Amino acid sequence: MQYNADMKNILIVIIIALFITLPCNAKVDVKFTPSDECETSIINYINKAKNNIDIAVYSINNDKIVSALKKAHNRGVNLRILTDKLQAAAKSSKVIELYKYGINIRVNSKHKIEHNKFAIYDKKIASSGSYNWTNPASNKNSENCLFIIRNNRAVNAYIKRFEYLWRINTKQKSDQWFKKKT
């Protein structure tokens, strides 16, 4: 009987130690612009993704990021992009190009502006910050991006928010918008 009680106590100590050390394994990687740091990191995570990438972003016109998204689509990564419809209609936007390429894109129809700038890579890593996925964000603007690694609670918060935004901004309304624009 004593042996089982001792083993139980040891197991409890191990479990507590795991819970205490788990947050220590979490990592946040912060980048700033103007520089290619955000762009390069985003492209690296797109290139490493094996299953899915969910993106909520205000504006997309960065040629290198767009190229990486197309390559991910070609290798079978499930992409979902939610973006702002006013920005999507801008002359420099690559949203219609990505839509015509066959990437699953929805435009915001529920909020005044879809101003988020986050992505979730394989439901394991999230990126966020002020960084729009644009050429000026890399080359001219003062922006930031951060990458949340090995922090399930934070990544799950982004997953939950994306799923909510995806659900309320319907495919039907997005397809109507794209039909008018193409």
Q: Which residues form the catalytic set?
A: 115, 117, 122
Contact 46, 74 (CB under 8 A): no
Residue 82, SS3 per DSSP: strand
Residue 30, SS3 per DSSP: strand
Which of these, 87, 115, 127, 106, lies nearest to 169 by C-alpha position? 106
d(C-alpha 94, C-alpha 157), whole Å: 28
Tokens 């042996």 belong to residue:
3
Which of these, 69, 17, 16, 20, lies nearest to 47 by C-alpha position? 69
- φ, ψ (nearest 5 deg) of residue 156: -65, -35
- φ, ψ (nearest 5 deg) of residue 121: -110, 115
Compute the chain's Rg from CA coordinates.
Answer: 20
